[in-house]
């Protein structure tokens, strides 16, 4: 895998992506201090409103200009949990938060470097941030709490690849903890499920059932606040903040192709909208559920497959595939949800496994063209938007090409065995 970084064109792609990210994604003409880490103070301002008797799920513009058009979108339980933050000044909190975000990013890069056994930490770090049109770096600039959560997710993967039962159980438990804060992160259980022993599945199933129970507890313990929480979630489609994930992909199919749904607003990010209930999400939920079932079935097939004679390499391929699948399952895929995705895509594309699969299917020149094309998709710069609408199809194309090549090779080998 270290040969990946010996390819000159990949180094050039990374360099170009870094340059374009800074030139096109950062507004150097604005006050950078007010512009950067715009999500950071939501964690502070929501509990602050809660402690003073104001509605924590309303616009937080009176708390800080940095969160002028943002609302608190986390469960009521965390309003009480994070209320201790308001004992320090907003300026002190911001500084502490930014330090934590920086450390989380550094640790995530270190863990990915260890997981994928890449000797060059610097390139691991740069790919993590500047792949996929620099979207992960843009996510880092948001200062969202997901940066911390994905650091914990990377740590959970690092723990579960060990053969130590206590470490594996701890890794599983960490995914459970982060899913309490962002419920959809339960999807990350897909990752260890592709390579850990079946004996651990009972723990995953048990912990997974506690997440909806935790949501139910919030509804019973904080009925008024919980209603406001659900209201904030319900306005996402026409507040323009649905990201580019599974729900947006399903809505695109339903609205543009099948004519079953209204098209979500995109790019407006207007939290000042008043709930009008004009979106019927039923068809989008149904189609998204269908895709999730397909992705789960794919993950099951990956678990049963052997991609390499080397156990560690086989496990890393499965981790790459599972991270991409988890990305595809995210209902609301935002820029900070991609910290684990870029390096997974590049590892898969440049692995000896894919190289061998391509050799079996294509001539040498065509194989090189395919690999270069896939690398360009991951490291190319396609969009100025914070939520890159190319991300979902790129991930879908990469995993589809890999699995089609693998299935084709497997069928050919089975045919040869029968013929022999």
Q: Is the pLDDT of residue 366 over 90?
A: no
**CB of 200 closer than 8 Å to CB of 192:** yes
Q: Is the pLDDT of residue 386 over 80?
A: no
391-403 pLDDT per residue, tens: 899 999 999 999 9
Q: Which residues lie closer than 8 Å to 395 by C-beta, 6 or more apart?
A: 324, 327, 328, 341, 345
Q: Is this prediction's pTM over 0.85?
A: yes
Task: Give residue 2's pLDDT band: very low, low, confident or very high (50, 70, 90).
Answer: very low
pLDDT score, position 253: 93
HEC states along the chain? CHHHHHCHHHHHHHHHHHHHHHHHHCCCCCCHHHHCCCCCCHHHHHHHHHHCCCCCCCECCCCCHHHCCCECCCCCHHHHHHHHHHHCCHHHHHHHHHHHHHHHHHHHHHHHHHHCCCCCHHHHHHHHHHCHHHHHHHHHHHCCCHHHHHHHHHHHHHHHCCCCHHHHHHHHHHHHHHHHHCHHHHHHHHHHHCCCCHHHHHHHHHHHHHHHHHHHHHHHHCHHHHHHHHHHHHCHHHHCCCCCCHHHHHHHHHHHHHCCCCCCCCCCCCCCCCCCCCCCCHHHHHHHHHHHHHHHHHHHHHHHCCCCCCHHHHHHHHHHHHHHHHHHHCCCCCHHHHCCHHHHHHHHHCCHHHHHHHHHHCCHHHHHHHHHHHHHHHHCCCCCCCCCCCHHHHHHHHHHHHHHHHHHHHHHHHHHHHHC
Q: How far apart are CA 193 and CA 295, in angstroms?
A: 13
Percentage of residues in the chain with pLDDT exceeding 90? 49
Q: Is the pLDDT of residue 362 over 70?
A: yes
The label of the residue with tokens 């939501």 reads 42
17-73 pLDDT per residue, tens: 999 888 877 766 566 566 678 788 888 889 998 988 888 888 887 787 766 677 888
Task: Give residue 157's pLDDT band: very low, low, confident or very high (50, 70, 90).
Answer: very high
Task: Give residue 361's pLDDT band: very low, low, confident or very high (50, 70, 90).
Answer: confident
Nearest to 207 by CA among 224, 223, 185: 185
215-233 pLDDT per residue, tens: 999 999 999 999 999 888 8
Neighbours of 34 (CB within 10 A): 11
Average of per-residue pLDDT values in the chain = 86
Nearest to 375 by CA among 407, 343, 406: 343
pLDDT score, position 418: 39
Q: What distances in angstroms separate CA 381 from CA 22, 76, 134, 378, one per listed residue?
A: 12, 39, 7, 8
Q: Is the pLDDT of residue 413 over 80?
A: no
pLDDT score, position 119: 81
If you average pLDDT over residues 152-177, what whole number do you get? 95
If you average pLDDT over residues 90-94, what whole number do you get? 89
pLDDT score, position 414: 46
Angle between helices 311-329 and 341-349 (to 10 degrees): 130
Of 246-250, 348-352, 356-360, 368-372, minimum mean pLDDT range? 356-360
pLDDT score, position 164: 92
Q: What is the largest CA-CA distance in the chain?
A: 78
If you average pLDDT over residues 231-240, what whole number do you get? 77
Q: Is the pLDDT of residue 242 over 90?
A: no
pLDDT score, position 173: 97
If you average pLDDT over residues 72-100, what whole number do you get? 88
pLDDT score, position 67: 67
pLDDT score, position 345: 95
179-218 pLDDT per residue, tens: 999 999 999 999 999 999 999 999 999 999 999 999 999 9
Q: How far apart are CA 5 and CA 13, in angstroms?
A: 11
pLDDT score, position 420: 42
């Amino acid at each position: 895998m270290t040969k990946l970084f010996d390819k000159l064109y990949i180094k050039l792609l990374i360099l170009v992506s870094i340059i374009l990210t800074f030139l096109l994604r950062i507004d150097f003409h604005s006050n950078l201090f007010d512009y950067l880490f715009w999500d950071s103070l939501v964690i502070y301002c929501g509990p602050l409103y809660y402690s003073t008797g104001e509605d924590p799920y309303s616009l937080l513009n009176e708390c800080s200009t940095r969160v002028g058009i943002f609302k608190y979108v986390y469960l009521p339980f965390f309003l009480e949990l994070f209320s201790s933050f308001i004992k320090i000044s907003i300026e002190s909190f911001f500084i502490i938060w930014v330090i934590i975000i920086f450390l989380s990013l550094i640790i995530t890069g270190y863990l990915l470097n260890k997981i994928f056994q890449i000797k060059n930490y610097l390139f691991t770090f740069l790919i993590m941030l500047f792949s996929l049109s620099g979207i992960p770096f843009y996510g880092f600039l948001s200062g969202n709490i997901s940066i911390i959560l994905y650091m914990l997710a990377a740590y959970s993967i690092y723990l579960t690849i060990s053969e130590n039962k206590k470490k594996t159980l701890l890794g599983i438990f960490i995914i459970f903890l982060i899913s309490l804060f962002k419920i959809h992160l339960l999807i990350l259980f897909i990752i260890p499920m592709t390579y850990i022993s079946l004996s651990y599945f009972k723990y995953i199933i048990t912990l997974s059932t506690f997440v909806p129970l935790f949501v139910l507890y919030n509804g019973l313990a904080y009925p008024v606040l919980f209603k406001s929480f659900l209201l904030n979630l319900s306005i996402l489609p026409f507040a323009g903040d649905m990201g580019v994930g599974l729900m947006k992909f399903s809505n695109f199919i339903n609205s543009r192709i099948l004519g079953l749904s209204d098209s979500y607003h995109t790019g407006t990010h207007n939290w000042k909208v008043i709930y009008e209930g004009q979106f019927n999400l039923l068809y989008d939920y149904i189609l998204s559920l269908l895709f999730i079932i397909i992705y789960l079935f794919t993950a099951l097939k990956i678990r049963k497959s052997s991609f390499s004679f080397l156990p560690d390499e086989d496990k890393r391929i499965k981790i790459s595939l599972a991270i991409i699948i988890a990305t595809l399952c995210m209902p609301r895929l935002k820029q900070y949800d991609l910290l684990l995705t870029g390096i997974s895509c590049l590892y898969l594309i440049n692995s000896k496994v894919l190289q061998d699969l391509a050799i079996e299917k294509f001539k040498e020149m065509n194989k090189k063209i395919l690999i270069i094309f896939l690398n360009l998709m991951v490291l190319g710069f396609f969009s100025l938007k914070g939520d890159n609408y190319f991300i979902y199809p790129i991930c879908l194309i990469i995993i589809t090409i890999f699995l089609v090549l693998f299935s084709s090779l497997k069928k050919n080998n089975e045919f040869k065995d029968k013929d022999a």
